[in-house]
Structure 1
Amino acid sequence: MKDIYDKTHAAEILQRIDQLSPHSTRQWGTMQAAQMLAHCSAFQDIPMGNAFPPRGWLGRVIGRFVKPVFYNDKPLPHNMSTIPETLISDNRDFEAEKEKLKLRIIKLQKDGPDQCSPHPHPFFGPLTPGQWGKGIYKHLDHHLRQFGV
């Protein structure tokens, strides 16, 4: 399984982000490219220790049983629901969001798993830094495939 903490895997993600444009067409979902980039940045704020969204009741009940979906080898399903704190519905500046996400990926990769926040995922609950690393890669891959890159 690929992992965002691996330099090669992080470089691959950065290269794919560079293939996006403001006019990239989504294959599924409702977000525009700039919104997707902002969503991915907001999501990365959790393991980076910049955001602390609360656990939802459904996640408290079933999150621990389904959390391998976040870090296993299977692709995430299309149109999967997201946590409210990372839902982006307003218009965003594509270039600004692209740069912000790239800087977050570089920082996350450079800081490594030792700097991963212990704050639990709002749905899946507590994750190890290794699980976060795989899940972050998988989440980015999911959204880049959503836009054909």
Structure 2
Amino acid sequence: MQTDDTAPARRSLSFASPQEVIDDCQNLSSAPCRMLGQWTLSQNIRHLAQGVDCFYDGFGFQLNWWRRRILGPLLKHHVLRRGMPQGVRLPVDAGTLLPPAPDDDLPAALEHLKSAIRRLEQEAPRHPHPFFGPLTHEQARQFMLRHAELHLSFAIPAPEPAPR
């Protein structure tokens, strides 16, 4: 097990707009990057797109009542303002959000994310979040930004080559 002194550092991200998420994904996909987690960059981007899709197509699972009614509302504002913790385990019936299948089609994943974000910018969410419950349009937008900060923090761009 790695200690904090030897653990690779994740990036510290703070997205203010969905366009910043798209720009970061495009920058990461245009040059080599190292992934600190267990997912590829393509899997992370596809997961973010699927997370947005769930606000419109349904999440396909619900958490037990005490998490939805007690914990969710207590933590919603903290997560929307300060970010998501790493290591949250999704239930086994959260099939649409579980780690996507290995995928090397980075351009397709990026296009899926752009499409999902366009939808998010134009339409209010139709389905409640399984943990936080109903979210306003702005809260769904903030949730997407915090979710992207978490997942994209594991992507470390390759350093620029030193000038000769």
TM-score w.r.t. length of structure 2: 0.71
Q: 2:106 aligns with which of 68, 75, 94?
A: 94
Q: CA RMSD in A?
A: 2.4
The 5 Å alignment of 1:1-149 reads 9-21=17-29, 24-27=33-36, 29-47=37-55, 49-57=56-64, 59-60=67-68, 61-72=70-81, 74-82=82-90, 84=94, 85-92=96-103, 93-109=105-121, 111=122, 115-148=123-156
Q: Which moved more, 1:120-129 or 1:50-59?
A: 50-59
Deviation string for 1:10-59 (max 9, x for gaps)? 222211110123853223x3211111111101100122x12342321163
Residue equivalent to 2:11: none
Gaps of 5+ in 1: 4-8
Deviation string for 1:82-112 (max 9, x for gaps)? 4623112421122211111122213322x1x
Aligned-residue sequence identity (percent) comes to: 25
TM-score w.r.t. length of structure 1: 0.77
Q: Distance in 1 between matches of 2:40 and 2:15?
A: 26
Contact map agreement 1:75 1:142 (CA 8 A) in 2: yes
Greater fraction of residues in helix = 1
Contact map agreement 1:59 1:122 (CA 8 A) in 2: no
Q: Larger C-alpha radius of gyration, 1 or 2? A: 2
Gaps of 5+ in 2: 1-13, 158-164
